[in-house]
């Protein structure tokens, strides 16, 4: 299986939300990581044939997905970033309803719904109304609806938004179970979600894929060094002004700083192995959503 993006571009007026992307994806979990406005949703909407590219094309096993039309959509499962659900429906009725929209035969739909409700860990909530579910449970119902047709391509836009730590772990396990024999593309701006689930990481910035590879490869591509050093508390604000600080730990009257810099920031600074968070900070700077630190 091969999903290939060639010179893929989407313009809104003169602005390129997706800018000349060339990318080939096969089975496995791909993590699309980028800050707000990077173009993640726009890219995904094109992959779901919801919007048309301004330029370039997408092929599935060599065939244009827009020409494949419903044959392609039958292979596709999609969880939109803002997914509409039906508040008064029970989880089970909601899934059966979506199955009917997707044209799945009632007998098959019933069986599949039952399996998926168990699969995503909603067995106890099957008869609860959608509006009474927690955020994480709703997302899991959303993933179940995307899985109804046993898609070969599963596209999940910010599936972990608003999940608590327990739900995040459950979600990661669920994705690794679902990822066998299919392509899963998920977007997030939360580094730790990508680190554990994606085999392949795509860093997206200003409509472009600026880096692609395994976690190790992405980390190895980091051009700057990460340093740990200790500073007096009163030095901290000037260090923040002068360097890219990825973390600060307070220690009595001292602070331990984690700094991303090509040069040694302080004489006793020691180089350490970068993490994906450091790489993210290197490329995305101050906008690095979840790893901004206050002192």
Ligand X SMILES: Nc1ncnc2c1ncn2[C@@H]1O[C@H](COP(=O)(O)OP(=O)(O)OP(=O)(O)O)[C@@H](O)[C@H]1O
x-or-dash string of contact with ligand X, 183-222, rule CB under 6 A: ------x---------------------------------
Q: In 3D, which of 71, 101, 67, 72 has the Cα closest to residue 84? A: 101
Which partner in ligand X, Mg ion, none is near 17 (CB below 5 to 8 A by kind)? ligand X
37 binding ligand X? (CB under 6 A):
yes
CA atoms within 13 A on the CB side of 111: 6
81 binding ligand X? (CB under 6 A):
yes
Residues 6+ apart with CB under 8 A from 259: 226, 227, 228, 229, 239, 243, 244, 245, 246, 265, 269
Smallest gap, in angstroms, from Cβ of residue 12 to ligand X?
Answer: 3
Nearer to ligand X, 189 or 244 (CB): 189
Residues 6+ apart with CB under 8 A from 279: 203, 211, 218, 219, 221, 222
Which partner in ligand X, Mg ion, none is near 113 (CB below 5 to 8 A by kind)? none
59 binding ligand X? (CB under 6 A):
no
Encoding tokens for residue 282?
């290197």
- Binds ligand X by CB under 6 A, chosen from 31, 33, 34, 145: 34
103 binding ligand X? (CB under 6 A):
no
In degrees and rounded to multiples of 5, residue 274 shows phi and psi of -70, 155
Q: In 3D, which of 65, 58, 52 has the Cα closest to residue 11? A: 52
Q: From residue 152, how far is each of 26, 50, 149, 155, 188 by CA, in Å?
A: 10, 18, 9, 10, 21
Smallest gap, in angstroms, from Cβ of residue 289 to ligand X?
Answer: 9
- Binds Mg ion by CB under 5 A, chosen from 29, 39, 41, 120: 41
Smallest gap, in angstroms, from Cβ of residue 154 to ligand X?
Answer: 17
42 binding ligand X? (CB under 6 A):
yes
Which partner in ligand X, Mg ion, none is near 12 (CB below 5 to 8 A by kind)? ligand X
92 binding Mg ion? (CB under 5 A):
no
Which partner in ligand X, Mg ion, none is near 135 (CB below 5 to 8 A by kind)? none
Q: In 3D, which of 156, 188, 191 has the Cα closest to residue 78? A: 156
Q: In what order do the strands lie in the sheet with 254-261?
A: 244-251, 254-261, 225-232, 270-272
**β-strands 153-157, 183-188: how paired?**
parallel
140 binding ligand X? (CB under 6 A):
no
**Dist. CA 128–CA 224, nearest whole Å:** 51
160 binding Mg ion? (CB under 5 A):
no
- Binds ligand X by CB under 6 A, chosen from 36, 127, 252, 262: 36
Residues engaged in binding ligand X (CB under 6 A): 12, 17, 34, 36-42, 81, 189
């Amino acid at each position: 299986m091969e999903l290939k993006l060639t010179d893929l571009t989407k313009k809104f007026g003169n602005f390129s939300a997706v800018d000349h992307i060339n990318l080939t994806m096969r089975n496995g979990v791909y993590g699309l990581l980028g800050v707000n406005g990077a173009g993640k949703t726009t890219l995904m909407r094109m992959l779901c044939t919801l919007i048309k590219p301004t330029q370039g094309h997408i092929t599935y096993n060599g065939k244009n997905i827009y020409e494949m039309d419903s044959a392609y959509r039958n292979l596709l499962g999609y969880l939109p970033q803002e997914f509409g659900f039906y508040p008064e429906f029970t989880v089970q009725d909601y899934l059966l309803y979506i199955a009917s929209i997707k044209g799945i035969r009632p007998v098959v739909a019933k069986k599949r719904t039952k399996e998926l409700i168990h699969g995503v860990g909603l067995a106890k909530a099957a008869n609860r109304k959608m509006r009474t579910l927690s955020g994480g449970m709703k997302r899991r119902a959303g993933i179940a609806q995307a899985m109804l047709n046993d898609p070969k391509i599963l596209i999940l836009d910010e599936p972990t938004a608003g999940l608590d730590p327990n739900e995040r772990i459950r979600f990661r396990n669920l994705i690794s179970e679902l990822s066998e024999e299919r392509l899963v593309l998920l977007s997030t701006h939360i580094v730790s979600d990508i680190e554990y689930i994606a085999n392949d990481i795509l860093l997206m910035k200003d409509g472009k894929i600026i880096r692609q590879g395994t976690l190790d490869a992405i980390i190895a591509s980091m051009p700057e060094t990460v340093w740990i050093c200790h500073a007096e508390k009163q030095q901290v604000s000037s260090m923040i002004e002068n360097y890219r600080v990825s973390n600060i730990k307070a220690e009595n009257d001292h602070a331990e700083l984690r700094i991303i810099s090509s040069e040694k920031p302080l004489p006793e600074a020691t180089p350490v192995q970068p993490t994906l968070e450091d790489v993210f900070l290197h490329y995305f700077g101050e906008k690095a959503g979840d790893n901004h630190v206050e002192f």
